[in-house]
Structure 1
Amino acid sequence: MVLTPTGLRFRRRTLPCTVGAGGIRSEKRERDGATPHGVHRITGMFYRPDRMPPPAPWARPIGPRDLWCDAPEHPAYNRLVRAPFDASAERLRRADRLYDLVLTTDWNWPDAEPYRGSAIFLHRWRGPVRPTEGCVALAPADLRWLAVRVRVGTRLVVR
């Protein structure tokens, strides 16, 4: 997969997408709204089992207590955690549909450096011109198309 100014290119298709409001940056920091530049890998897939069937055999269901730690100084920074949790974390099971299907990346993972950025995912967009907080977001049908074709280790090149 290659992220270009025209979209996310994969298997001869270019999928429209949005990136972080802070643009694409080499020096990513927590809460800067930027999408990190570089070569990343897909590390996992989560989905809402109450809203869709698993898109791939290796996809993991999102449970009601699943969170992603975004507290830079916590030992679980940039990792899946479960509620109740004593530090800042983003809920994966959301009321909206943004995280119905999520592909995780190896940005600042598995050995996270504090404040380097967390939760850089591929997920559903809010719309074609609405930026993310640093993730790559796609239309629901395009995200689903991508999810059934990627594997753990698939490269994501962000230029």
Structure 2
Amino acid sequence: MSQRKLETLNRGDRIEGIYLVEDASLKTARNGKFFVPMTLRDQSATVKAMRWESSQEEFRDIQNCPFLRIEGRVEEYQGAPQIIVDRLEPMTADQAGLQATEFLPRTKHEIPELERELEERIAALQNDDVRQLVVTILARPGLRDRLRLSPAGKAMHHAYVGGLLEHVISLVQLA
């Protein structure tokens, strides 16, 4: 079975793959057994998942690792797909051979193209003082990398990898 994009899941599907754990909590059912409701993510979507008959140890492992290799099945809960996790293996980024940014939504534009656009907009600034201020700020060590990888907001506002770079371009355009 190959890695499935979460946006393609349908009720009745089997799923196997590595996904980013966006959030997870440990709860106790009426029968006294532990279960873990969680949200899994890839670049295409986030999906609720449920691990029944879990344990405190398993939950600690989930909390300590950003990725899960899962096997499970897709059911529907409250009108949306939900993964019932039959097997899981918590994984670090090194174990998974992945970075968290690979699982986050991304800008629709190519990052180098956005960087060129930013440079062009900076060069076109009429006010020398403003241009120098922007150049000085963007020259800070590590800032360009963070611009490429960071969202501008958590939920609504350019909330994807490269979103902060898009936002800065729009601000420079206003200057």
Task: Give the TM-score normalised by the residue count of structure 2.
Answer: 0.27
Larger radius of gyration: 2
Question: Which of the pair has the greater relative contact order for Cα pairs under 8 Å at 6+ separation?
Answer: 1
TM-score by length of structure 1 reads 0.29
More helix by share: 2
